[in-house]
Amino acid sequence: MHFLFKLFVLILNLTLISNVKSQSYNDVICRRPWYFNSPRPAPMRCPTASFFTYYECCGEFLENCCWRFRQEPIIIGVILLVLLLLVCCCCCVSWIFVGRKKKSSNIEPEKKPTKKDSQIQTISSSTIDSGTQWELRRSYEETDKRRSYAAARDQELDYQYFQ
């Protein structure tokens, strides 16, 4: 038990010493000029630094604490702002061009000519009157129906045969 107590005291002392060292390392201490002739001049401790600011000794004899802006967070903030604006501009430009493509793609594409259309076009380009064209078209559609009826009949026969 005595050993555990000594170990606890040792760990406590080490943590306190490390806290004091880190605190004195981070703090800025300025010396007042009227204490320079004394063997132990009274120091003046500056406030703790923040993320955006820090303190340093300033004045004629470095007797005052002056706060300053840190440059790193400001530079990083400006770079992030510029990148954000650049991304927004790129998005706007792409939105404009994609929007135009979508509007132009709404126009129906031309249909590929089928066999019926090509037959009608060749007939219409000739000197045959419209009545004859209608008869030719009607007869062409009837042959398609005949083919489909024949295909259906053959399919029924195949179905009956394979059962």
Q: Is 88 helix (H, G, I), strand (E, B) or coil?
A: helix
Over residues 22-51, the pLDDT tens digits come to 455 567 777 666 655 666 667 778 888 888
Q: Is 129 helix (H, G, I), strand (E, B) or coil?
A: coil
Other CB atoms within a 10 A radius of the CB of residue 128 amount to: 13
pLDDT the model gives residue 134: 54
pLDDT band at 21 (very low <50, low <70, confident <90, very high): very low
Question: Contact, 28 vs 57, CB < 8 A?
Answer: yes
Average pLDDT in the chain: 69
Question: Contact, 123 vs 131, CB < 8 A?
Answer: no
